[in-house]
C-alpha cells in the first residue's frame, strides 16, 4: 500500500522481532500533524497477520515474543472522511449487538447467519459470498434447515442469541456469524466481549473478527473461563463495511455455550 504523501515510516522485520522498532512520524515538510484531532490516516501494525496496534505515533515492540520468520506489515490507509466523527459526543454508541438484538434481519445493521463449513470445498470462510442467513421463528437464530432432533443430519448446536451463542461441529461444521454492516464512515472502536457462558469445561471457543473479510482480531477462551476478555479494537469504517464475528469451536463443540457481544462506538 503506498505511503501517505505527508508521512514517512520506518519499518522492518528481523529474525529477532524483539529488536524491531517501528516509527511513524510526520514528514518534515508536512503541513499538518496527523496525530492531532482528525486522524487523516489510520496506521495499523500486523505481526504475521495479527493486529498488534492501530492509531498514530511511535510503537515499540519490546514485549513481543520471539517470532523467527514472522512478518510485520504496516499498512497506512488514507482516510479522508475520518475527520468526521461517527457520532457525537465522544464515546457515543452507534450499534450494540445486545441492545439492538432482534428476531428480524437488518435491525440497526445487524444480521444473523452462519458459515456452512461442511459443504465448503476450500474450507475457508469467504465473507463476500459464504454468509448464509439464519432464521429466528422462536427468537433464537438457527440455520433455516435446523431440525431439533439430535439424531437428524440437519441438527446443529449452532445458534445465535442476544448474549452470544454456540458453534456447531457435530454432525456438521456450522459456525454462527454475527454481522454488522456499517451505516457510518470514520474511525470507530469496537468493544468486544468473549467469555464462556457454560464454564464447566470443554476445549473452549474461538472468536474471530473480520472487517470486510480481513481478520482484525481473534481470541481463544478456555473451557472453564467464565470471565473472558473485553477488548477495544480500533477500526476504520466506511458505509457498507461488514464486521463479522465468527464463533469457532476449536477442537470440538462440547460445552461450547459462549457469551460474545460487540458495541460499535466513537473513540
Ligand atoms: Ca470458502
Ligand atoms: Ca470447543
Q: How far is the CA of 204 from the centre of ligand 2 (A)?
A: 4
pLDDT at 5: 38
pLDDT at 73: 53
pLDDT at 99: 98
Quick one: 162 exposed, middle or buried, by C-beta within 10 A (0-12, 13-18, 19+)?
middle
| pTM score of the predicted model | 0.74
Q: Is the dihedral of CA 234, 109, 115, 149 positive or negative?
A: positive
Q: How far is the CA of 22 from the centre of ligand 2 (A)?
A: 37
pLDDT at 24: 39
Cα(22)–Cα(24) distance, integer angstroms:
7
Q: How far is the CA of 123 from the centre of ligand 1 (A)?
A: 5
The closest of 216, 211, 186, 204 to 259, measured between CA atoms, is 204
Minimum-distance ligand to the CA of 125? 1
pLDDT at 185: 84
Angle at 194 between CA 188 and CA 197, to 5 degrees: 145
How many CB atoms neighbour CB 84 within 10 A?
Answer: 12
Q: How far is the CA of 208 from the centre of ligand 1 (A)?
A: 16
158 beta partners: none
Q: How far is the CA of 36 from the centre of ligand 2 (A)?
A: 44
Cα(191)–Cα(32) distance, integer angstroms:
30
Which cell goes with 248?
469457532
Q: How far is the CA of 183 from the centre of ligand 2 (A)?
A: 33
Q: How far is the CA of 251 from the centre of ligand 2 (A)?
A: 5
Minimum-distance ligand to the CA of 120? 1
Q: How far is the CA of 151 from the centre of ligand 2 (A)?
A: 20
**110-116 β-sheet, strand order:** 132-133, 110-116, 174-181, 242-248, 205-211, 214-221
194 beta partners: 229, 260
Quick one: 164 exposed, middle or buried, by C-beta within 10 A (0-12, 13-18, 19+)?
buried
Q: How far is the CA of 222 from the centre of ligand 2 (A)?
A: 9
Q: How far is the CA of 255 from the centre of ligand 2 (A)?
A: 7
User: pLDDT tens, position by position, for the chain (267 residues)?
Assistant: 333 333 333 333 333 333 333 433 333 333 333 444 333 445 555 555 566 555 554 444 444 444 444 455 555 555 445 556 788 888 999 999 999 999 999 999 999 999 999 999 999 999 999 999 999 999 999 999 999 999 999 999 999 999 999 999 999 999 999 999 999 888 889 999 999 999 999 999 999 999 999 888 999 999 999 999 999 998 888 889 999 999 999 999 999 999 999 999 998
Amino acid at each position: 500500500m503506498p505511503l501517505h504523501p505527508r508521512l514517512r515510516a520506518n519499518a522492518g522485520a528481523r529474525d529477532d522481532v524483539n529488536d524491531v522498532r517501528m516509527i511513524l512520524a510526520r514528514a518534515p515538510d508536512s503541513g499538518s500533524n496527523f496525530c492531532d484531532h482528525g486522524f487523516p490516516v489510520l496506521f495499523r501494525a500486523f505481526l504475521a497477520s495479527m493486529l498488534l496496534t492501530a492509531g498514530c505515533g511511535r510503537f515499540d515492540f519490546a514485549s513481543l515474543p520471539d517470532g523467527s520468520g514472522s512478518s510485520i506489515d504496516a499498512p497506512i490507509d488514507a482516510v479522508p472522511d475520518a475527520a468526521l466523527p461517527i457520532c457525537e459526543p465522544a464515546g457515543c454508541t452507534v450499534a450494540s449487538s445486545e441492545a439492538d438484538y432482534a428476531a428480524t434481519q437488518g435491525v440497526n445493521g445487524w444480521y444473523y447467519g452462519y458459515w456452512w463449513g461442511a459443504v465448503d470445498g476450500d474450507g475457508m470462510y469467504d465473507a463476500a459470498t459464504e454468509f448464509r442467513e439464519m432464521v429466528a421463528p422462536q427468537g433464537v437464530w438457527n440455520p433455516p434447515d435446523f431440525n431439533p432432533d439430535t439424531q437428524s443430519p440437519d441438527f446443529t448446536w449452532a445458534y445465535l442469541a442476544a448474549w452470544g451463542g454456540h458453534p456447531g461441529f457435530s454432525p456438521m461444521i456450522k459456525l454462527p456469524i454475527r454481522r454488522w454492516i456499517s451505516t457510518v464512515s470514520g474511525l470507530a472502536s469496537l468493544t468486544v466481549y468473549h467469555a464462556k457462558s457454560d464454564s464447566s469445561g470443554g476445549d473452549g471457543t474461538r472468536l474471530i473478527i473480520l472487517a470486510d473479510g480481513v481478520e482484525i482480531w481473534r481470541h481463544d477462551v478456555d473451557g472453564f473461563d467464565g470471565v473472558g476478555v473485553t477488548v477495544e479494537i480500533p477500526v476504520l469504517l466506511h458505509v457498507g463495511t461488514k464486521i463479522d464475528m465468527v464463533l469457532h469451536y476449536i477442537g470440538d463443540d462440547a460445552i461450547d455455550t459462549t457469551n460474545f457481544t460487540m458495541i460499535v462506538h466513537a473513540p
